Amino acid sequence: MTGPDPDHTGEPLGSRPVSEPPPAPMPTTSETPVEAAGPVVADPQPWAASPAPPGDEERWHPGRWQSGPAQPPPPEAEMSASEQIDQRLDARMLAVRPLNEAMGLLPVLIIAMVVGSGGGWQLPLAAAGAGLLLINGFSQWLTTRYRISDDQVFLRSGWLFRTRRAVPRDRIRTVDLTAKVMHRVFGVVTVKIGTGGRKGAGMSDELVLDSVSRAEAERLRQVLLHRAPVGSVSTPVDSEAPDGVAADPTASGATAQNTTGEEPGTVLSKLDPRWLRFAPLTLAGLTAVGVLAGVSMQWLQELSIDVDEVGLVRDWVGWLSEAPIALLVVGIVLALFVISSVLALIVYAIRNWNYLLTRETDGTLRVRRGLLTTRAVSLEEKRLRGVELQEPLLLRSARGGQVNAVAVGISMMSPESSQLLPPAPVTEAHRVAAAVAKQDHAPTRSSLSRHPAAALSRRLVRAVVPVAVLAAALWALTTFGSWPSWPAWTATGLLPFAVFLGVDRYRSLGHALGSRYLVTRYGSLSRNTVALERDGIIGWNIRRTIFQRSAGLVTLTATTAAGGNSYDVVDVAEPVALGVADEAVPALLQPFLIGGNARDHRESTHRQPVPATTSEDLNSST
């Protein structure tokens, strides 16, 4: 059951044919076809072009090259001579790319030279590696070309195996300007052009230009997001993006300083140093510990280093083997907590340094952040379909949350592109959600209707029964076997937590329907509140398992072309689900109803109001 997206931007990429007018005739070559939707095509042929037969020139058509008599291009496809020239990447990439790749190998090289087994092989190996990096960087610069016409973006690269991409400009969703340390040193930027396509099957969802000058990066951002004709936007030579555009205004609502020649934007949110207190409550620290441990073990194995032969490590292992188990467990937990907290603070600072969210005068939301690697992501507001407030359990315990955009062409699997606000106070999260939605009252703060008591029973059963079965099995092994008793006691001790989890999951359920948004909330370990624009809903799915059928419940799923593509109203009574669906998008569900209409269901729902809760009520009670 689907309906049209009112903005005609909600269809999945690759599902509709490319019907843009053809650009000017391309130079005659013997190269492989270009696919307009974005797949990568390998071409083992040499770079040199071969002349075409007289009177038989190649013509561009959406999705393919064709040979035949040359046809005059339409007037809208005419370009100036400078616009027909393929552009190279900035020559500074000859130094930037090898240095960036060498920095990733530097720790391995240092360990090899310090603790290696000798033999004098380290320096020749390092020299050979440096030579390969230089050759690779030069070949990338020599063979990479890009060109932007009034309706297409072309990119070709490769030496032995050549790849070519042609993406319609109306499929461009985001422009991400990223600058790593070496990029910032040499004054260049990596431009990532997000198309919102699905990865896999030989297709990438973005075009990457590594590296271009800051002025060129800002020009590309304006041209691609404004849908402006090529050559109509100029950027000063001293433009700085993203390194210099993330100015630090002094107050929310002020205008961001800008050196790019465009009008300044309105600041919606900026980093507050007090937000660092939320860093230890995220999983970034534990993730960093796991990554460091895994990389260290891999390096030690690759370099044939036996840690048991290190005297300090051997002494520590001996001391720990003699320590009481309880003391050992407490010590490991405390050490892990301290290390993960410190790493979480470092990761938070590196990722979100100079964070700034602005609304630009060109109709885009722009997020800038980063300490070592700076990023500036621009998102068109016309592709925004809602906002999502995420409150993981630990973050929620400190009244914190983060905000993501629900937008066409941006997947929830790409948090770096969709995140509008890093972990911050929940009051700031609601304020940002209201500012992004251009509402006086945040839709994520709406009063939500409680779900039936049968939903509580389902959550208690799903949370408690598995733990109870595990505890019973462990007690049986302890009683009739030779198992120790501490696993059984541990499983038994988890029963109260299972009950708490089930109750909390039920209390997190809720939904509301406003004049503009459908709001749904679910989850406990990570509670998500999604405010989805009613105009962005293109279909409904109603699911009912055998257990839901016995309880009189259904799951209503709103499908959309934005974000995660579907959002659930979980375990709601069937009349309520039908009423919500019909009122949110009138007449979309009605043809599929049997023995009545959705209006009857909606009226029956309105005759039986249910109590409402807000996120503040849940936070205070929890």
Is the predicted pLDDT of residue 384 greater than 50, yes or no?
Answer: yes
pLDDT band at residue 308, thresholds of 50, 70 and 90?
low
**Which of 224 and 467 is assigned the larger pLDDT?**
467
Domain-embedded: residue 317 = yes
Radius of gyration of the chain (CA): 29
Listed ranges 23-32, 302-311, 428-437, 600-609; the one with the highest mean pLDDT: 428-437
Size of the chain in residues: 622
pLDDT over 50 at 231, yes or no? yes
d(CA 497, CA 600) in angstroms, rounded, equals 42
Nearest 10 degrees: Cα torsion 371, 376, 377, 379: 140
Tokens linked to 598:
């959705």
Residue scoring higher pLDDT (240 or 440): 440
Strand partners, 66: 59
377 part of a folded domain: no
Provide the 10 A C-beta neighbour count for residue 109.
15
Q: What is the pLDDT of residue 411?
A: 67
Q: Is pLDDT of 348 > 70?
A: yes
Asked if pLDDT for residue 408 goes beyond 90, the answer is: no
Position 238 in a domain: no
Residue 576 lies in a domain: no
Among candidate residues 466, 482, 505, the one where a domain is terminated: 505
The answer on pLDDT for 423 being more than 50 is yes
Residue 258: pLDDT band with limits 50, 70, 90: very low
Tokens of 392: 């993981």
pLDDT at 203: 53
> Does residue 60 surpass a pLDDT of 50?
no
Cβ–Cβ under 8 Å, residues 521 and 510? yes
- Does the pLDDT value for residue 228 go beyond 50? yes
In this predicted structure, the answer to whether residue 524 has a pLDDT above a threshold of 60 is: yes
Instruction: Name the E strands within 48-173.
Output: 57-61, 64-68, 145-148, 152-157, 163-168
Euclidean distance between CA atoms 394 and 284, whole angstroms: 12
- 271 — pLDDT class (breaks 50, 70, 90): very high
**Number of domains composing the chain:** 2
- What confidence score (pLDDT) does residue 435 get? 95
**Region 213-231 average pLDDT:** 79
d(CA 294, CA 320): 22
127 pLDDT tier (thresholds 50, 70, 90): confident
The whole-number pLDDT of residue 247 equals 38
| Nearest residue to 218 via CA among 99, 90, 378 | 378
- The reported pLDDT for the residue numbered 83 is 46
- CA dist 10 and 560 (Å) reads 7
Termini Cα distance of the chain: 39
**Per-chain mean pLDDT for the chain:** 75
How does residue 229 score in pLDDT terms, banded at 50, 70 and 90?
low
Phi, psi values for residue 431, rounded to 5°: -65, -45
Report yes or no on 88 lying in a domain: no
Confidence check: pLDDT of 506 > 50: yes
Q: Is position 126 within any domain?
A: no
Bridge partners, residue 40, by sequence:
none
What is the largest distance, in Å, between two alpha-carbon atoms of the chain?
Answer: 92
Query: Could you say which of 488, 505, 522 is where a domain stops?
Result: 505
Is residue 598 pLDDT above 60, yes or no?
A: no
The pLDDT of residue 237 is: 42
**Of 461, 478, 505, the domain-final residue:** 505
Split at pLDDT 50, 70, 90, the class of 43 is very low
Average pLDDT over residues 311-325: 72
413 — pLDDT class (breaks 50, 70, 90): low
pLDDT at 139: 84
Residue 477, judged by CB atoms within 10 A of its CB (0-12, 13-18, 19+), counts as middle
- Answer whether residue 107 is part of any domain: no
Contact (CB, 8 A) for 89 and 220? no
Question: What pLDDT, on the 0 to 100 scale, is given for residue 116?
Answer: 54
Q: How far apart are CA 477 and CA 483, in angstroms?
A: 6
Give the three-state DSSP class for 434: helix
- Residue 19, domain member (yes or no): no
Tens digits of residue pLDDT in 474-499: 999 998 888 888 889 999 999 999 99
Q: Say yes or no to pLDDT of 551 above 80.
A: yes
Range of the domain at 485: 453-505
* The pLDDT of residue 70: 42
- 112 pLDDT band, cuts 50/70/90, is low
With a pLDDT cut of 90, the percent of the chain lying above it is: 33
